[in-house]
Amino acid sequence: YQPIYSLKEKCVVSLEALVRLKDEKLGAIPPDEFIPLAEQNGTITQISEIVLEECCRFLAKHVLSNPSLGIRTIHVNIAAAQCLNRNLKESILPVLERYHVPTHMITLELTERTAIEAPKLMLWHMQEFGKIGMGFAMDDYGNGNSNCSYLIRFPFREIKIDKDMTWSYFENPTAKIVIENEIKTIQKLGLPLIMEGVEKKEQSDALEALGVDMIQGYYYGKPMPETECLRYIRRMHFAKEEYGKS
Contact partner at residue 70 from Mn ion, ligand G, none, CB < 5 to 8 Å by partner kind: none
| Residue with Cβ nearer ligand G (218 or 238) | 218
| Residue with Cβ nearer ligand G (48 or 216) | 216
| Residue with Cβ nearer Mn ion (141 or 169) | 141
Question: Is residue 109 a contact residue for Mn ion (CB under 5 A)?
Answer: yes
Residue 224 CA from chain centroid, whole number: 15
Pairing of β 193-196 and β 158-161? parallel
Q: Enumerate binding residues for ligand G (CB under 6 A).
A: 2, 18, 31, 77, 139-140, 163, 196-199, 216-218, 223
The least CB distance from residue 186 to Mn ion, in Å, is 17
| Residue with Cβ nearer Mn ion (143 or 237) | 143
Closest CA to 190 of 159, 228, 216: 159
Region binding Mn ion by CB under 5 A among candidate stretches 6-14, 46-54, 69-77, 184-192: 69-77
Residues forming the site for Mn ion (CB under 5 A)? 77, 109, 139
